Structure 1
């Protein structure tokens, strides 16, 4: 019986490996590429916001000149992922090739440690998943397999989607992507790790591990000691500081349904919170939107009404590239959007684009009492994305505030998001999620085109802060208030 089980497991692993590294013919790749390109150009609301149309012409010409040489499913997926990243849209993403996630779970292809980023391209050892468990936590990672870590970061960041050129957004997503992407690109069952520790440089050869092993060793070694920042999704706390009482408003999501399921009825909850701010006569407020991935646009406008004491615009334009999504070749789940053309008119300012006739977020918004008129600090990081970034952008454009933390993951000028459609490539099985609405914020700061909101006071929680349970970013935010 034992021998039969082992045989089945080996066959299962081999089948997964064949699925991940199966070869696609020239014809299969060419067909998938044309469907991929056609779907993005037809349905994506901002496909050429940052990427020139000529780029994909060039890719087509190069690959056709090479005859679309046969390559593995994995390698073809990397080509598609790189070109998806070139769109510079954080709301556009691709699922990994079928079987890849399971293959990583069962096979030793993942790095046996975690890396904590203190800056783009600069990382330190954070978790140790080797069998011995004796790596120096906090050591600076300088090389992987002889390649400078800054170069590893640069190479892998080409395959991580983010809005525009936001360094904060890329670094935030690299936290979760560098481990699986390194395996996908560089492979192998071992890794040569070079690090600096206590004035010395060491190189060690380590065996890679599976995702299952990483998970098991995390539970054994770090589950009880790893700092947890879990807490209520929306709350106001009052901090006693030298300047006086400071309100700290933490907001983790603008997704209305998700928040309501957890007991936060938005936007009604905003009114209750700002009533508390007024009752306690708070003159200093920190709006903490770190790791807020966004949600409903109208929730963003609702919050801004309590923070901006004048009429303001939230978006100035919503546009898309087609009125006939229901008939887009290769797209799945588009039927529910076939009537969207009834809401659109031709955009006379941009050829080939259509704009929304009406939306609640396009109208001018007015303040809602009680408006907070005191000193405001906005705390953000690379996880501040989508609606959360739109809120930061609106505040930046309409009232005095100090911005502390990291560059936001979302774009200062807007994003492409809202309703999504999906294209499934028939030969590789890759599926790509495509957002259809480009939102433009009413801002005018040319040096920030393609970037997030750059903080006035840059600060980042280091790995030492995290291990010590210290929030250096919040401490720096409190220091910005003046009597």
Structure 2
């Protein structure tokens, strides 16, 4: 048995090394025109037959013609990632922001895995932010404190950001006819692009610009160092043993205070979703005006943080205790997340005093088996063997939660437990900050709140459609020759409201653009307008 297990591990390791090598070679191999055409036809068929509500913005006939036109333009061999970039523009033009084409990333081979074990590459130590064709070095997680954050990035090694932007412009868009999404998106994508182009690096050279001065800085790979425990030999007759040093005994009251403090800290870290790696929170409650707790900013960076049910109870209890009269909900750069998360947040902000949900309970799917079959679309030998009863049960459950209505299929995403009517609703003035990266679930909760006319929206049009989005779980189809993947959203999520204006996001009452100069100077004109408006109302 042990010999068989050892042989299995050896063969798996050998296969992994060979597989990684072949994968990396494939990335740099040009695909013939004939094979690229086959991939385009494969993707076209999947889009036309598997994509729910594909014709929301353009007819299927027009979509088919666009893909055919692209196919005719492909008349020379391309490497997989070059093909991915060009085909992405076609897919992005269809108006479904979640539907996208992936690129292939380099895989570590055995030697590289060993070399870079317990380390963080220089790209992973940097966080970028962009507005159109300009890039900001927003954060550095490096131990090197001299790295000039809030500088404009001109190049990384020999890759100029302007060249990248020109090459990739319009390869990814938001929903419908919205243009604000791509204004902010490229900074997020640039890190992944660098990882693919530069391969594993021990250091990077940044070309930066700050205050009209152009300079370079080096960012190095960082390794996790194990602390060495050095045991000093101490003579018993010269120094007292540590065993003789007794820790201070706490009284019952002191123990209780310490326990309550620790419990409160754990509750804060859970509720505000503390991230140990970046030493930051995914949910933040800030008071922007000194000595004035009546004005608060609730910044939510993502709706995927988890623990949301208890988190929002804790957060809005804090808001009530601070007697907040003016709440600013900041969902800028929030790309969305779980429907249950926005549902719990919405239950504290809605003006309606009745059990309800932020999204419609029935979401449209492509077929009766679309959701249930997804459990076995890309099976994993180990997990699907060990947890086979779970996958079967989940598939049966998904099958019976899908029903037919008016010749269309719908899936029930929520149970009656999601019909919420929180007692501790926030009843003060509400402002909502949005931009082009307020997307997916962020757009849905924004649409529901705007429909109630309680909040004043400030900033930019959301990147997600007011009327909903095709999202949920993504089904990936690997194109047979290039091996890149086409990701298709499985479900049409819609808010508990709708409007006649088609293909546009939540449009702010007070439109204020953020410029790159604002980023450089660390200004926030959108938040500043709200604070001034609050002061005017107080007067």
TM-score by length of 1: 0.69
Query: What is the CA–CA distance in structure 1 between the aligned matches of 2:74 and 2:164, rounded to whole Å?
Result: 29
Q: What is the match of residue 256 of structure 2?
A: none
Aligned residue-pair number: 428
Q: Deviations over 1:260-309 (max 9, x none)?
A: 3xxxxx21222232223233332111112233232221221221111112
Alignment of 1:163 with 2:175, yes or no, is yes
Structure 1 residues 456 and 275, CA gap change in structure 2 (3 angstroms): same
Q: Does residue 302 of the first structure (1) align with residue 344 of the second (2)?
A: yes
Tell me how far apart the structure 2 counterparts of residues 64 and 277 of structure 1 sit (CA, whole Å).
56
Does the aligned pair in 2 maintain the 1:35–1:425 contact within 8 Å? Answer: yes
Tell me the equivalent position of 1:372: 426
CA distance in 2, matches of 1:65, 1:381: 37
Alignment counterpart, residue 281 of structure 1, candidates 313, 317, 323: 323
Q: 2:36 maps to what in 1?
A: 29
- CA deviations 1:288-342 (Å, max 9, x no partner) are 22332322212212211111121465234510222233679x9535996575365
State whether residues 461 and 472 of structure 1, in contact with CA within 8 Å, keep that contact through their aligned partners in structure 2.
no
- Name the SS of the counterpart of 1:428 in structure 2: coil
Alpha-carbon deviation of 1:425?
Answer: 1.5
d(CA) in 2 for partners of 1:16, 1:419: 26
The equivalent residue for 2:366 is: 321
Cα deviation, 1:177-212, whole Å, max 9, x if unaligned, reads: 357769999xxxxxxxxx999999x9x9x9xx9xxx
Rounded to whole Å, the distance in 2 between the matches of 1:299 and 1:419 is 16
CA change 1:62–1:337 in 2 (3 A) is farther
Q: Displacement of 1:423 after TM fit?
A: 1.0
Mapped partners of 1:449, 1:362: distance in 2: 31
**Secondary structure of the residue that 2:180 maps to in structure 1?**
helix
Residue 73 (structure 1) aligns with: 80
Residue range with higher mean Cα deviation, 364-373 or 458-467:
458-467
In structure 2, C-alpha distance between the alignment counterparts of 1:459 and 1:45, rounded to whole Å:
34
Measured in 1, the distance between the counterparts of 2:395 and 2:42 equals: 20
Quick check: 2:130–2:187 contact (8 Å CA) kept in 1? Answer: no
Whole-Å Cα distance in 2 between the matches of residues 33 and 50 of structure 1? 21
Match of 1:355 in 2: 410
- Residues in 2 aligned to 1:359 and 1:118: alpha-carbon distance in whole angstroms: 35
* Residue 438 (structure 1) shift: 0.6
Report the Cα offset of residue 138 of structure 1: 6.6
Q: Which residue of 1 aligns with 2:449?
A: 395
Distance 2:312 2:212 in 1: 51
CA contact under 8 A between 2:295 and 2:324: conserved in structure 1? yes
- Alignment CA distance shift 1:234-1:178 (3 Å): closer
Answer whether contact 2:105 2:196 (CA < 8 A) is retained.
Answer: no
- Scaled by the length of structure 2, the TM-score of the pair is 0.62
Q: Which moved more, 1:455-464 or 1:49-58?
A: 455-464
Q: Distance in 2 between matches of 1:215 and 1:409?
A: 35
Gaps of 5+ in 1: 1-13, 103-110, 128-132, 186-194, 218-227, 261-265
Corresponding residue for residue 297 of structure 2:
248
Q: Does 1:58 align with 2:48?
A: no
Between Structure 1 and Structure 2, whose CA radius of gyration is higher?
A: 2
CA distance in 1, matches of 2:483, 2:210: 45
Shift of 1:376: 0.6
* In 2, Cα distance between equivalents of 1:270 and 1:480: 26
**2-structure distance, mates of 1:450, 1:214:** 41
- How far apart are the structure 1 equivalents of 2:30 and 2:433? 48
1:79 partner SS = helix
2:404 equivalent in structure 1: 345
Contact 2:132-2:186 at 8 Å conserved across structures:
no
Q: Equivalent of 2:280, from 192, 213, 231?
A: 231
Contact 1:77 1:430 in 2 (8 A): yes
Deviation at 1:413, TM superposition (A): 1.5
Q: Give me the CA root mean square deviation.
A: 5.1
Whether the 8 Å contact between 1:332 and 1:424 is mirrored in structure 2 is no
Displacement of 1:437: 0.2
CA contact (8 A) 2:443 2:505 kept: no
CA pair 309-442 structure 1, distance change in 2 beyond 3 A: closer
Structure 1 position 395, deviation (Å): 0.8
Q: Does residue 85 of the first structure (1) align with residue 97 of the second (2)?
A: no
